[in-house]
Structure 1
Amino acid sequence: MKCPAIALVSAPGPSQHTSHDLTHEQWHRIRPLFTLFDAMPTLGHRHASTREAVNGVLWKIVNACAWLNVPRSYPAGPYCQDICMEWDQKGLLAAILHELHGDAAPRMLEEARRAGEMP
């Protein structure tokens, strides 16, 4: 899958959402997983909410782009990458993908790993 150039050029502002962002219903479904996996973001980016970090990680996985191409409407790509790796090591990333995408989750995770920039 090719990285969408439009997202890099005309990314929405911080208060705007893209079609890849979690709906309120999706967020309420996955939010308890963070407590279950003891995985609230603890890395430096103080202005990023957990939901924003999830949106940035999901954007990267869905678009199969480099972390540096994560649009500015999300937390910085390197921050999202660090969080993604932490969540992947804890099993949280697989749980999030399973909750949101069901049986497609293992394939999505494998494709993301195969694309690189993930453990």
Structure 2
Amino acid sequence: MDIPLSDEAWQRVSHLLPHDAKQRFGHQARDPRDVLNAILWVITQNEKWHRLPTYFPPSQTCYIKWLQWERAGLMARILDKLQVCEG
């Protein structure tokens, strides 16, 4: 699987991650595609969150989203649809 997500790969999972563009706590909500790209980078590179390259959203943001999506069972569904193997 290529990172960043291709348009075709994003189409397979975008319905699972609706984008709420409302501001929260004075900040614009991050694009879920950008966050997912970061999460997939960590998973496929078998890296630590603090090593996330700066062109991704902040590592704390991505880690929190990963936790939320993992607890909701979304990450398993996303990884299955994208056929990604963890670490």
Compute the TM-score of the two structures, normalised by the length of structure 1. 0.61
Q: Which has the larger radius of gyration?
A: 1
Q: Which runs of 5+ in 2 are unaligned?
A: none
Aligned length: 84
Once the two structures are TM-superposed, the CA of residue 33 in structure 1 deviates from its matched residue by 1.5
Q: Distance in 2 between matches of 1:47 and 1:57?
A: 16
Question: Relative contact order, CA 8 A, sep 6+: which one is greater?
Answer: 2
Matched residue of 1:60: which SS?
A: helix
Query: What is the CA-CA distance between 1:99 and the residue it aligns to?
Result: 0.2
Query: Which residue number in structure 2 is paired with residue 58 of structure 1?
Result: 40
Instruction: Give the number of the structure whose residues are more often helix, by fraction.
Output: 1
Aligned CA-pair RMSD: 2.5
* Runs of 4+ with >3 A deviation: 39-45
Which aligned pairs between 1:1-119 and structure 2 lie closer than 5 A? 19-35=2-18, 46=28, 48-101=30-83, 105=85, 108=86, 111=87
Distance in 2 separating the partners of 1:31 and 1:71: 23
Structure 1: gaps spanning 5 or more residues: 1-18, 112-119
User: Does structure 1 conserve the Cα–Cα contact (< 8 Å) formed by 2:38 and 2:52?
Assistant: yes
TM-score by length of 2: 0.81
**Secondary structure in structure 2 of the residue aligned to 1:54:** helix
**Percent same amino acid at aligned positions?**
26
